[in-house]
């Protein structure tokens, strides 16, 4: 099963001012225009790693299946522990996978190992550290309450209960949980096919010599990494020269095979108007000036049936706009339920240049100080072409539009890369 992602047409009559679109508004508009792909497939558990669950998975069994011991020790009837110094006779042993089958008589206990099914007639497990053993008997040195150190059947999950909801990304814990339910195959949403290319006559590929004014194309590599981390099927279309026919042909080719097309470069105002012309002919594109730094020029819309993102050319701007807009959009298209990134507050130890007007995504290093408080400092120079600021960072420092310069000691909002990337 496979259908194209859908995007609602963008109306020219929208009352907003495109010159002052806020980040929150841009993201809201993008998400509102997208619905998840409908296609799904059944895959084996290991192959499901990183994929998005297409439907709820209910447990076919109680977890745990039987009431069992949570520790190594002695299964007892708590009522037998009444008298201090009372001794219990060891009637036998139960191991995980090797139960003790005889019903326990009063005044007896059973040696149990973690995971062993609770012998009939017992209700509590005395930890071995709290039992003095001698002559085939134990003496319990502590008080116990009924049910201590016992895992009840179904306490984790009841048979029929939803173990994992549709829309969950299947990471290590989810694979383990599914395995614990004996589930070897799951229905997942199909992978998104994402095509991308770079534009710019100054771009060279690795292996080619650089002449003056030329740069190596790095955006296709950051995009490859960011898309792969999201589990997308990546279609790298290379560098497309700044020529109308070349750009147009690339758009057609991408739209024919991909759910999503991402370009970088060439979306600045006044530049490469034929890109706009081509896009306007075969798609519905809004060119937005999002009030953000880096990454102001940004295009969103549709090329034929493919969702289109036109990212700025500058390498850091590509990454910032990707993580703020494209990643949530791809998560939504892929059917993922949780797309909100984690944000935390931290004390900033650097002075940050900031002018009021735009949301800034400065690159920072988040860590604990000696007192155990979260602190963040910026990575060196913050130019939107300085990719090293991303490699050295582990978070974005997000500064709201109204904010001015940040003095050391001020509290700032931080988006850790962990979970975001």
Token pair in block for residue 166: 């549709």
Task: Select from 60, 98, 215, 257 the one that contacts ligand AMP (CB under 6 A).
Answer: 215
At residue 277, φ and ψ (nearest 5 deg) are: -60, -50
Q: Which is nearer to Mg ion, 140 or 319 (CB)?
A: 319
Task: Select from 124, 219, 324, 362 the one that contacts ligand AMP (CB under 6 A).
Answer: 219
CB 319 within 8 A of CB 391: no
Q: Which is nearer to ligand AMP, 198 or 415 (CB)?
A: 198
Residue 72 CB partners (closer than 8 Å, separation 6+)? 112, 113, 114, 127, 128
Q: Which is nearer to ligand AMP, 219 or 284 (CB)?
A: 219
* DSSP string over 156-208: SB-TTSEEE-TT-B--HHHHHHHHHTT--EEEEEPPPEEEEEEE-TTEE-TTS
CB of 360 to ligand AMP, least distance (A): 18
Q: Which of ligand AMP, Mg ion, none lies near 268, with the C-beta cut-off 5 to 8 A by kind?
A: ligand AMP
Instruction: List C-alpha distances in Å: 279 to 4, 139, 195, 199, 346.
Output: 19, 83, 16, 14, 42
Q: Which is nearer to ligand AMP, 20 or 268 (CB)?
A: 268
Sign of CA dihedral 340, 344, 345, 348: negative
- Chain positions 326 to 385 lying near ligand AMP, rule: CB under 6 A, are none
Q: Which of 299, 357, 294, 414 is nearest to 22 (CA)?
A: 357
Q: Which is nearer to ligand AMP, 215 or 249 (CB)?
A: 215
CB of 348 to ligand AMP, least distance (A): 28
Q: Which of Mg ion, ligand AMP, none lies near 367, with the C-beta cut-off 5 to 8 A by kind?
A: none
- Chain positions 303 to 322 lying near ligand AMP, rule: CB under 6 A, are 312-315
Q: Does 266 bind ligand AMP (CB under 6 A)?
A: yes
CB 309 within 8 A of CB 299: yes
Q: Which of Mg ion, ligand AMP, none lies near 218, with the C-beta cut-off 5 to 8 A by kind?
A: ligand AMP
| Helix H or strand E segment including 391 | helix 388-391
Q: Which is nearer to ligand AMP, 270 or 419 (CB)?
A: 270
Q: Which is nearer to ligand AMP, 100 or 298 (CB)?
A: 298
Residue 130 CB partners (closer than 8 Å, separation 6+)? 73, 140, 141, 142, 144
CB of 206 to ligand AMP, least distance (A): 11
Q: Does 200 bind ligand AMP (CB under 6 A)?
A: yes
- Residue 334's SS3 state is helix
Query: Which residue has the closest beta carbon to ligand AMP?
Result: 313
Q: Which of Mg ion, ligand AMP, none lies near 215, with the C-beta cut-off 5 to 8 A by kind?
A: ligand AMP
Residue 121 CB-density burial (10 A; 0-12 exposed, 13-18 middle, 19+ buried): middle
CB of 346 to Mg ion, least distance (A): 36
User: Strand 411-416 to strand 395-399: parallel, antiparallel, or no bridges (unpaired)?
Assistant: antiparallel
Size of the site for ligand AMP (CB under 6 A): 16
Q: Does 222 bind ligand AMP (CB under 6 A)?
A: no
Q: Which of 159, 178, 194 is nearest to 59 (CA)?
A: 159
The whole-angstrom separation of Cα 116 and Cα 113 is: 6
Task: Select from 102, 268, 343, 345 the one that contacts ligand AMP (CB under 6 A).
Answer: 268
Residue 389 CB-density burial (10 A; 0-12 exposed, 13-18 middle, 19+ buried): buried
Q: Does 263 bind ligand AMP (CB under 6 A)?
A: no
Site string for ligand AMP, 151-190 (x = CB under 6 A): ----------------------------------------
Q: Does 389 bind ligand AMP (CB under 6 A)?
A: no
The whole-angstrom separation of Cα 412 and Cα 138 is: 59
- Under the rule (CB under 5 A), what is the footprint of Mg ion? 200, 265-266, 313
Task: Select from 198, 321, 350, 362 the one that contacts ligand AMP (CB under 6 A).
Answer: 198
Per CB under 6 A, which region of 214-222, 281-289, 373-381, 397-405 contacts ligand AMP? 214-222
- Residue 292's SS3 state is strand
Residue 14 CB partners (closer than 8 Å, separation 6+)? none
Q: Which is nearer to Mg ion, 68 or 263 (CB)?
A: 263
Residues at the contact surface with ligand AMP, assessed by CB under 6 A: 198, 200, 202-203, 215, 217-219, 264-266, 268, 312-315
């Amino acid at each position: 099963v496979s259908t194209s992602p859908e995007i609602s047409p963008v109306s020219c009559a929208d009352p907003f001012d495109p010159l002052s679109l806020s980040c929150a508004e841009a993201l809201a508009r993008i998400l509102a225009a997208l619905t998840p792909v409908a296609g799904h497939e059944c895959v084996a558990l290991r192959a499901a790693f990183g994929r998005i669950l297409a439907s709820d998975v209910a447990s076919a069994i109680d977890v745990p299946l039987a009431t069992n011991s949570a520790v190594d020790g002695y299964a007892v009837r708590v009522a037998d522990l009444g008298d201090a110094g009372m001794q219990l006779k060891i009637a036998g042993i139960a191991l995980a996978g090797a139960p003790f089958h005889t019903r326990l008589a009063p005044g007896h206990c059973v040696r149990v190992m973690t995971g062993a099914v609770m012998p009939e007639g017992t209700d509590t497990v005395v930890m071995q550290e709290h039992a003095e053993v001698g002559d085939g008997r134990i003496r319990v040195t502590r008080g116990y309450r009924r049910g201590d150190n016992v895992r009840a059947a179904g306490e984790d999950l009841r048979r029929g209960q939803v173990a994992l909801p549709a829309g969950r990304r299947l990471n290590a814990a989810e694979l383990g949980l599914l395995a614990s339910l004996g589930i070897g195959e799951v229905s997942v949403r199909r992978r998104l096919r994402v095509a991308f290319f770079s534009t710019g006559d100054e771009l060279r590929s690795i292996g080619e010599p650089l002449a003056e004014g030329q740069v190596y194309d790095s955006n296709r590599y950051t995009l490859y990494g960011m898309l792969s981390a999201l589990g997308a099927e990546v279609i790298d279309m290379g560098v497309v020269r700044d020529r109308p026919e070349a750009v147009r042909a690339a758009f057609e080719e991408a739209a024919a095979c991909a759910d999503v097309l991402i370009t970088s470069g060439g979306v600045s105002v006044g530049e490469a108007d034929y890109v706009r012309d081509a896009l306007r002919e075969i798609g519905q594109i809004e060119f937005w000036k999002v009030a953000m730094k880096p990454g102001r020029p940004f295009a969103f819309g549709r090329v034929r049936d493919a969702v289109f993102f036109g990212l700025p050319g500058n390498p850091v701007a590509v990454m910032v706009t990707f993580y703020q807009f494209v990643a949530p959009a791809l998560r939504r298209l892929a059917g993922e339920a949780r797309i909100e990134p984690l944000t935390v507050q931290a004390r900033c130890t650097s002075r940050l240049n900031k002018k009021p007007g735009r949301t800034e995504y400065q690159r920072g290093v988040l860590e604990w100080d000696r007192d155990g408080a979260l602190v963040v400092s910026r990575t060196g120079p913050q130019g939107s072409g300085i990719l090293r600021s991303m490699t050295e960072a582990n978070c974005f420092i997000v500064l709201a539009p109204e904010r001015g310069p940040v003095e050391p000691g001020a509290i700032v909002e931080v988006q850790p890369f962990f979970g975001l990337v």
